[in-house]
Chain A
Amino acid sequence: MPLARPLLALALAGALLLAAACGDSDDDPGTIILATTTSTHDSGLLEELVPRFEERTGITVKVIAVGTGAALRMAGEGNADAVLVHAPEAEAPYVASGDLVSGRLVMTNDFVIVGPPDDPAAAAAAPDLPAALAAIASGGRFVSRGDDSGTHKKELALWVAAGLDPARLTREETGQGMGATLTIASERGAYTLTDRATYLALRDVLDLAVLVEGDATLLNAYRIHVVNPDKHEGVAGEQAEAFAAFLLEPETQALIGRFRAEEFGRSLFTPAVQIPVGGG
């Protein structure tokens, strides 16, 4: 007797809560789902930008952090309103099919190859990127994201460009996000490809150094695309467009440029729009 009554109360409360919670969310300015990469999410950038946008417009942005591949697929099925991704080759078919519209560059940073500070494969000494990759392939261990993310796609493209077949290399795939993959590489004394932002954010807890950087092919470009509302029912095209526009506003761009720059001594992301001197 002392027990069943609270149980019943709990059950009723739960039912009421669910019923009540289902009833809200009308006449608000709207909600968009932004599918994005784990790297933008793990760096914390969006958590800085999104609240500003929400405060100004009243539009709620649901940031879903998945790999670039999954983000694009969500967009292709109309399960997201906008995507912020960094895999141009993977984006192209969606743009061509009309699923994604009004794509534009938001920011860039660069990919770097990190590895054990003592560099057992002597990748840092290689004359160029293909040579560095060949050195790692023959003399080191490499840990790959293996999660169909933008970084993963980039890595595969780099092996191919260096004349190596990734399927025949002894790589280990983590299937996890950038942060987890960096940690695994650090623990195993292995090399990996990472975006600089995530690496910098985690640098202190990693036993990894930047060994290869600066090659033109290592540019990492983040684009925002709006999901075509004419092609997918239920897509909040207007709101998504507003968010895309917000990202390119000078003020936002300045914010991107400054994001955690003090902390790391350099910018994590380079804004796409040139900021006038003194701007921001």
Chain B
Amino acid sequence: MEAIWDGLVEAFRLIGTGDGELFSIAGRSLLVSGSATALAMLVGVPLGYLLGRARFPARTLILAAVGTGMGMPPVVAGLVIWLLLVRSGPFGGFELIYTKQAMIIAQFLIATPLVIAFTAASIQALPARLPDLLAVLGAGKLRTLWLLAREARLGLLAAVMAGFGAVVSEVGASMAVGGNLVGDTRVLTTAIVTETSRADTERAIAYGLVLLAMAFAIVAVLTVVQQRSPR
């Protein structure tokens, strides 16, 4: 109990005094996971839109694959990317292993199925005649996509939250492909692992608190937007 209390006190002291290492690690988490989520949106939203809208033979199979991807442990994604990017792997020549880019790629792989699934679900929940309505009202292709995205915005928000939440809190993939390098690829989760194995509980707790606060802040902002938007 005392260890927890001391940990919390020290954690708040680190946060309060603006501990440089803490904030640079937190910033790195935000950068890596934010980029991965953004890329996942870029790829996942159009794919999710297609899966939610179009009807084609392989659709069910793809949806099942996406569902499986959602359940894939991050460490498996990490292993796959590690095997691809490591020097002896097929993409070793790009020298991406143990870099932030490698982490972004792995987290992208984790977040994308989530984004696809959430987007597909939100597009499917729209009235079936909506695209027809927009077409007869005279909306062009881009305009139609835009208006549909606006209608599905709550689902797209859920997609961002799910994607970001998953990658900012995962540790296995970041550890495997990032290497947990000090000042380079060490993010909040891998830092927690390190500090825990070094028995620096205070720092581990501080990182954990920052991670929670970050997740909370982002989810809170998105939830407020979600609640405010008229139905």
Chain A interface (Cβ within 8 Å of chain B)?
1-4, 7, 10-15, 17-18, 21-22, 25, 31, 33, 38, 42, 44, 47, 62-65, 74, 77-79, 177-180, 183, 201-202, 204-205, 232, 234-235
Q: Are B181 and A22 in contact (CB under 8 A)?
A: no
Given contacts A3-B153, A4-B156, A177-B197, contact A77 B88 (CB under 8 A): yes
Q: Are B198 and A42 in contact (CB under 8 A)?
A: yes
CB nearest to A74 among chain B residues: B86
| B179 proximal to A (CB < 8 A) | yes
CB nearest to A235 among chain B residues: B87
19 contacts between A and B (CB under 8 A): A2-B229, A3-B229, A11-B41, A11-B42, A14-B38, A14-B42, A18-B39, A21-B101, A22-B96, A38-B197, A63-B182, A64-B98, A78-B87, A79-B92, A179-B197, A179-B198, A202-B198, A205-B3, A234-B92
Q: Are A15 and B95 in contact (CB under 8 A)?
A: no
| B58 proximal to A (CB < 8 A) | no
| B74 proximal to A (CB < 8 A) | no
Alpha-carbon distance A53/B34, docked complex (angstroms): 32
Please report which residues of chain B, range 49-92, place their CB below 8 angstroms from some CB of chain A when the two chains form the complex.
Answer: 86-88, 92
Given contacts A7-B160, A13-B38, A65-B180, contact A22 B101 (CB under 8 A): yes
Instruction: Write the nearest CB–CB distance from B187 to chain A, whole angstroms.
Output: 15
Alpha-carbon distance A179/B194, docked complex (angstroms): 10
| B36 proximal to A (CB < 8 A) | yes
Q: Are A14 and B34 in contact (CB under 8 A)?
A: yes
Question: Interface residues of B toward A: which range?
Answer: 35 or more
Residues in A whose Cβ lies below 8 Å from that of B199: 179, 183, 201-202, 204-205
Alpha-carbon distance A110/B198, docked complex (angstroms): 19
CB nearest to B180 among chain A residues: A65
- Residue of B100, B199, B229 with most chain A CB atoms under a 10 A cut-off: B199
Given contacts A4-B156, A10-B41, A62-B181, contact A18 B197 (CB under 8 A): no
Chain B interface (Cβ within 8 Å of chain A)?
3, 31, 34-39, 41-42, 86-88, 92-101, 104, 146, 149-150, 153, 156-157, 160, 179-182, 184, 194, 196-199, 201, 225, 229
Instruction: Write the nearest CB–CB distance from B220 to chain A, whole angstroms.
Output: 15
Instruction: Write the nearest CB–CB distance from A79 to chain B, whole angstroms.
Output: 5
Q: Are A1 and B150 in contact (CB under 8 A)?
A: yes
Q: Are B104 and A18 in contact (CB under 8 A)?
A: yes
CB nearest to A179 among chain B residues: B197
Residues in A whose Cβ lies below 8 Å from that of B156: 3-4, 7
Q: Are B150 and A4 in contact (CB under 8 A)?
A: yes
Instruction: Write the nearest CB–CB distance from B110 to chain A, whole angstroms.
Output: 15
Alpha-carbon distance A33/B92, docked complex (angstroms): 13
Residues in A whose Cβ lies below 8 Å from that of B94: 22
Q: Are A180 and B197 in contact (CB under 8 A)?
A: yes
Which of the residues A2, A177, A235 comes within 8 Å of B225, measured between beta carbons? A2
Given contacts A2-B225, A234-B87, contact A18 B101 (CB under 8 A): yes
- Residue of B93, B156, B198 with most chain A CB atoms under a 10 A cut-off: B198
Alpha-carbon distance A22/B197, docked complex (angstroms): 32
- Residue of B31, B34, B88, B225 with most chain A CB atoms under a 10 A cut-off: B88
Alpha-carbon distance A205/B6, docked complex (angstroms): 13
Q: Are A79 and B88 in contact (CB under 8 A)?
A: yes
Q: Are A14 and B36 in contact (CB under 8 A)?
A: yes
Alpha-carbon distance A31/B96, docked complex (angstroms): 12
Residues in B whose Cβ lies below 8 Å from that of A1: 150
Residues in B whose Cβ lies below 8 Å from that of A15: 38-39, 42
Which of the residues B34, B93, B153 comes within 8 Å of A10, measured between beta carbons? B34
Alpha-carbon distance A77/B181, docked complex (angstroms): 21
CB nearest to B157 among chain A residues: A3
Residues in A whose Cβ lies below 8 Å from that of B92: 79, 234
